[in-house]
């Protein structure tokens, strides 16, 4: 919340409402009240600068600072997570086709594909490819995973 915009918007709104009841000044008062109301809403909705935590002193600092203004030490960046973060799935966007070579052997036997001679797509009948990374079957003819 941007407090200065909220204050300016509230002041303009009050002045505009007061001026709108005076006969000829209403031509100025109504637009002034509208502008004040818009500034008030923008000030309430607007977010502040992105913040992060200094890893040396633990205080909140702006994300663009290279040196912490409180302790004077370089603002270290938090280490990356030890596990891969999956990309978000967007509705209506098909996932990328799987790589031709599996990324590695499955870590446990439950991740192995079902032992069948040939698995075909229930929609088009083409053979499916098992993707070890996702533990799912993929239809390259349609570019989708047939069972969700």
**Structure tokens that stand for 126 in this block:** 């083409």
Q: What is the pLDDT of residue 101?
A: 47
Cα 102 from Cα 148, distance rounded (Å): 20
Cα 95 from Cα 88, distance rounded (Å): 10
16 or 113: which carries more pLDDT confidence?
A: 16
Domain count, the chain: 3
pLDDT tens digits, one per residue of 52-93:
888 778 888 887 787 888 888 887 665 555 556 566 666 666
Cα 115 from Cα 82, distance rounded (Å): 33
- Classified as helix, coil or strand, 134 is coil
Q: Read off the pLDDT of each residue in 21-44 and give the average, rounded to a whole number.
A: 84
**Structure tokens that stand for 48 in this block:** 């502040």
**Position 93 in a domain:** no
- Among residues 78, 98, 132, the one where a domain terminates is 78
pLDDT tens digits, one per residue of 3-22:
777 888 888 889 988 888 88
Q: What is the pLDDT of residue 125?
A: 84
Which range of residues forms the domain containing residue 69? Answer: 48-78
**Position 70 in a domain:** yes
């Amino acid at each position: 919340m941007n407090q200065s915009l909220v204050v300016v918007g509230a002041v303009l709104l009050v002045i505009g409402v007061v001026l709108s009841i005076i006969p000829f000044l209403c031509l100025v008062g109504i637009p002034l009240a509208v502008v004040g109301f818009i500034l008030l809403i923008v000030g309430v909705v607007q977010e502040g600068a992105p913040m992060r935590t200094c890893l040396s002193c633990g205080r909140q600092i702006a994300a663009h600072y290279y040196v912490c203004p409180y302790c004077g030490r370089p603002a270290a960046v938090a280490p990356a997570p030890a596990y891969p973060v999956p990309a978000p799935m967007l509705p209506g966007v098909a996932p990328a086709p799987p790589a031709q070579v599996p990324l590695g052997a499955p870590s446990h036997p439950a991740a192995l594909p079902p032992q069948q001679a040939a698995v075909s797509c229930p929609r088009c009948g083409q053979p499916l490819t098992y993707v070890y990374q996702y533990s799912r079957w993929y239809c390259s003819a349609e570019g989708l995973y047939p069972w969700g």
